[in-house]
Structures are given as structure tokens and as C-alpha cells.
Amino acid sequence: MALEQPRKSSTMLLALLLLFGAAAVAVESGLVRCVRPELSMCYCGKTAYDRQDLYVVNCTDTSLSTAKSLEVFGNLPAEVEVFIFTGNYLTELPSNIFGTNSTIDKLRYLDMSNNSIKLIKGKSYHHVSAVERLVLNNNQIDLGELGYHHPRVFSNFNNLYELHLTNAFADTDTINITTNLYEVFLNSNLSNLVKLHLEHNKISIITEPRVFCRLPSMLDLHLSNNELTGINFNIECLSRLRFLDLENNKIQTLPEKQLSALDRVHHNNQSLAIDLSNNRFLCGCAIENIYSWLRTTRVNVRNNETIRCTIGEKNPLDPFAAYHTECPSPVRTTLVDSNHGGHKLVAVFVFCAVIAFLGAVVYVSRFGLKRLRSEFNTSSRKIHYTTIGRGEEQEIHV
């Protein structure tokens, strides 16, 4: 018994230190327990976020019930600019989750990742027109495979610049979601969206090639860690695209049509970059075509030195540059910018001028050339050659 008392005291002391330490961190970061009873499990206050000093409400890992969670959404302070609600359990977002008379018109960043969300109704996100970044990573959103398809889920985000949907969708037997995504984008006002993250979603075949064409301001499209076999979607409708991330997919070859489309996009905006690393390109003509394209394209191919090819699934990856096969030359449309086009026109003009000048010189001096030819014929008749008897004898002029 005498030994247990010091142990209890030490445990209590450690708990107090941890408590005071957590409080110190909260105070130092500017976040303290929220005053409103409905937000008692959350932290509120001004703090640094995204290199700005913003008012944050953080409800991470609060283990709130569905009813309590909805009370949190309906009682956010009017000054909130960042709302973090992650690591909880909220499978369904009802209509008007922020309330029917919401005043959170300053909310700019909304993070609802890792909440096991399955259903988002068409009117769930009302009163969020000021939101610029929406994060829904690591959820189980159903876009229609189970009969719940609400294509207007993002229709109220008029100022949305970033949409994060990494590992966001339900893991069903159907591993392609692009048709339903196209309907969502078609029925949502996402004309200002510049960044879209769709990593880790098992996207394989693009059944709707126009899936991204309703996003005219798109700059960065992240499709890494999926199961894509090529650029099987319309990329030329994204006239402002500056980065296409296709890292770690299942691309074995890129046909000439797809490579030419990349060149045309770059020709239009002069800034396109692409990441093709960690794909299993096939050795032979498939990789030779890509290698040939890499030597001539002006697209910025990031990490191109890490591109590998493989002969078979069980063979180790090898540097693609080590394989050179006699392959037919690809028929590629040459894209010339205005400066190079101007230089070629000047060169053609100079060449034509030189030819015309030489023609004029020959025409003017044709009589002199005739006299020179007659003199040359006269002198050549005076020259005779002997038969070469031995290979080492020299010519003898008589």
C-alpha cells in the first residue's frame, strides 16, 4: 500500500502536466474551447491557417453523435472563416446542414474529411457561397451506385477554387465514376474551380470523355494512384490546364493521338506540365514512341528520368532509354509557335532572293560564258594521255 501512493501521485502529476501542456498549445495557437454549449467539444479562435490569420472552429475527433454533430453545424459563429470537422462519424448530410437561416457568409475553408460520409443531398450545402476550398477526402460518398444520385451536390459553391476528393467515393464493384462525376459537374456552378484532386479512387476506364469539360478554369488536375491506362478523356477543352498528374497509374503506352493532344494544349497556353512516373510502360515500340516524343515536345514532363519500361509483369523495370527498336516513325502534327514561324519565313525569303540574284548573274554573263567554253575546248584538244602500263606510274602530259 505504501508503494501505491507514490505511483498514484506520479500518475496524477503526469496527467496534470499533459493537461496543462495541451492547454498551453491551444492558447499558443490561438484556439481555446468554444464558448457556445453546442460547440463545447470544439476549439475556436484566431490562428494561422494557410499562411493567413483566420478565425477557426476545429471539431476534430470529437466522437459526437449525429444529432450533436448537426447542432454544431447549425450553431457556428458568424465570424468563422475555417471550419474543420474531421475524424467523426456522419454518414448522411441532410438538407441545409448549416441551418435555414445561416449567417456564415465568411466561411472560406471547409474540411469534412474522414467522416464516413455516404450520402450528400442536393441541398445539403446551402449558405456556403463564399467557400473557396472544400475537402471531402477519405469518405465513402455514393454517386449513384446504390440509387442515391444527387447531381447538384456542389451547386451552391459559387466561389469554389479547390475541390479535394481523394479516396472519397464508395468502394463498390463498379470502379468507374466518371459518368456520374460529369453529371455532378454539369449541374454545379464550378466555373471558378482551378484545382481538382481525385487521387486513390480506382478510376480505370473513362466512360465520359467530357467529364472535365465543365471546368473551364481548371489549372491542376490530380489523377495519380488510380488505374488509368491512358489519357482517355478530352484534355483539349481544358485550355488553361498547367499540370496533369498521372503518376502511379497503369499506363503501358500513350498513342500518338494522346501525345499530340498534349502538344496542342501546351501550344495554346505555353505552360503545361505532366507527371508520368511510376507507370509500367511496355518496352519496344510503345516506349520508343514516348521517348521520341520526349525529345521533341515542349511539354514539361516532370521526373522524366524516372520513367521505366518492362518486358513482362514479372520482369524487373528497366530504364526506357536502354531499349531501341526499329519502329515506324510516328506521324506527328508539327506545332510551330509564332516566333519560329516568322524565322522560317525570313529564311525562305532570303533563299529566294539569293536564287534570283544568281539567276540574274548567269543571264547577264551568258555570252561571256560561251566565249570561256570555246577557249576551254580549244585548250583541251592539246592535252593527250598515255596508256597506264603499271599501277604506280604517273600521268605523262605531252
Cell numbers placing 94: 441532410
For the cut 70, the answer to whether the pLDDT of residue 370 exceeds it is: no
d(CA 60, CA 357): 82
Is the pLDDT at 60 greater than 90? The verdict is: yes
Cell 536564287 maps to which residue? 355
Confidence of residue 343 (pLDDT cuts 50, 70, 90): low
pLDDT at 391 over 80: no
Question: What domains can you pick out in the chain, each with its CATH number?
Answer: 31-338 (3.80.10.10)
Q: Is 69 exposed, middle or buried (0-12, 13-18, 19+ CB in 10 A)?
A: buried
Other beta carbons within 10 angstroms of residue 320's beta carbon come to 22
Q: Give the Å distances, CA to CA, from 22 to 16, 25, 26, 268, 308.
A: 10, 5, 6, 53, 48
pLDDT at res. 274: 98
Chain center to CA of 361: 60
- Cell (9 digits) for 217: 478554369
Tell me the average pLDDT of the chain.
80
User: Which residues have a Cβ under 8 Å from the Cβ of 310 and sit 6 or more positions away?
Assistant: 280, 281, 282, 283, 316, 317, 318
Contact status, residue 129 vs residue 158, Cβ threshold 8 Å: yes
Confidence at 319, pLDDT banded by 50, 70, 90: low
What is the reported pTM? Answer: 0.75
Residues in the chain, how many?
398
Q: How confident is the model at residue 300 (pLDDT cuts 50, 70, 90)?
A: very high
**More confident: 354 or 293:** 293
Q: Which of 154-158, 227-231, 366-370, 388-392 has the highest mean pLDDT?
A: 227-231
**Which pLDDT score is estimated for 58?**
97
Between 355 and 363, where is the model more confident? Answer: 355
Q: Bridge partners of 163?
A: 134, 196
Task: State how far the Cα of 222 lies from the Cα of 302, in Å rounded to an integer.
Answer: 14
pLDDT tens digit sequence for 159-210: 999 999 999 998 765 567 898 899 999 998 899 999 999 999 999 989 999 9
